[in-house]
Amino acid sequence: MKRFLVYSLLFTQVIMAQKPTSVHLWPNAVPNETEAKQEHEISDNNKNNVIRVSKVTNPDFLVFKPIKAHKSKGAVIVCPGGGYSVLSTNLEGSETAQWLNSLGYTAFVLNYRVPQKQLGALNDVQRAIRIIRNNADKYDIDPNKIGVLGFSAGGSLSARAATLFTTNSYEKIDAMDAISCRPDFAILIYPAYLDKGELRSLTPEIKIPENAPPFFIFATADDKYGNSALVMTTALRDHKIPVDLHFIQNGGHGYGLRPGNPAAKMWPRLAENWLEKILD
């Protein structure tokens, strides 16, 4: 294994107008974490030109600002996938952030805890939402236009963030933890692990509150995790939560925005139109 700061690797992978800023979530002890803080660990596995963060004990987010000098249309916290074991931090992180920037949105790529630290990951996304909302003026964003976008396991985490926001998943550490961690919208791209209930029904952890935010969900029929999108959509519909589901035949899993895949070509255009509609 090699240890590097994630943003330095991202910077070598893509040409950016501005180096992203790293903001750590926890000033002192990290809740529900037994290991000492350390720099993110990068896996030696870079198959398909994917940078994989294999260990996070000191969670942070990277701030990607739109190039255009005007108030952001909104803010999106991007949760990369990786089976809760790794984070596909360029494929489903920085590349998505740059696309969002091109549309006029401020993006925050979340390095949540891995491997297999689902409670810690929920702590991290809730804390990130609170920090970003608390610093809305600093980031020049509307505190009422902050959403989550997640791929695969990151889609699972985004769904949890958008339904479990009344749950105190960690003990408060400062005044920011009194701020709402409810995202204003949720985008789930080929989400996974949402059908862990009996007979592949909705994962029991997920309870749909009456004030859940609107959802955009995209998946394909040939994705082995595709049922997650269907059961999540059904649960939202049953609770009268606005949801747009797009379910096409081919695309598989783990394509991000990279060219050569019909699903990767389709979902960004659909999501762009949906965002314009709900944030208008």
What's the pLDDT score for residue 12? 38
What's the pLDDT score for residue 72? 82
Cα 48–Cα 84–Cα 40 angle in degrees, nearest 5: 75
The string of pLDDT tens digits covering residues 107-125 is 999 999 999 999 999 999 9
Average pLDDT, the chain: 93
- Does 215 score more than 90 pLDDT? yes
What's the pLDDT score for residue 19? 80
Question: What average pLDDT does the segment 233-258 reach?
Answer: 98
What's the pLDDT score for residue 14? 41
* CATH number of this structure's domain 2-278: 3.40.50.1820
The string of pLDDT tens digits covering residues 148-189 is 999 999 999 999 999 999 999 999 999 999 999 999 999 999
Name the packing angle between helices 153-161 and 227-238 (round to 10°): 10
What's the pLDDT score for residue 224? 98
| Strand spans (E) along 138-212 | 146-151, 186-189
DSSP-assigned beta bridge partners for residue 60: 24, 111
Lowest-pLDDT range, 3-12, 68-77, 198-207? 3-12
Share above pLDDT 70 across residues of the chain, in percent, rounded to a whole number: 92
Q: In 10 A of CB 252, how many CB atoms?
A: 15
CA nearest 112: which of 85, 141, 145, 152? 85
Q: In 10 A of CB 197, how many CB atoms?
A: 14
How far, in Å, CA of 138 to CA of 159, rounded?
27
The predicted model scores a pTM of 0.93
The string of pLDDT tens digits covering residues 59-89 is 999 999 998 656 789 999 999 999 999 999 9
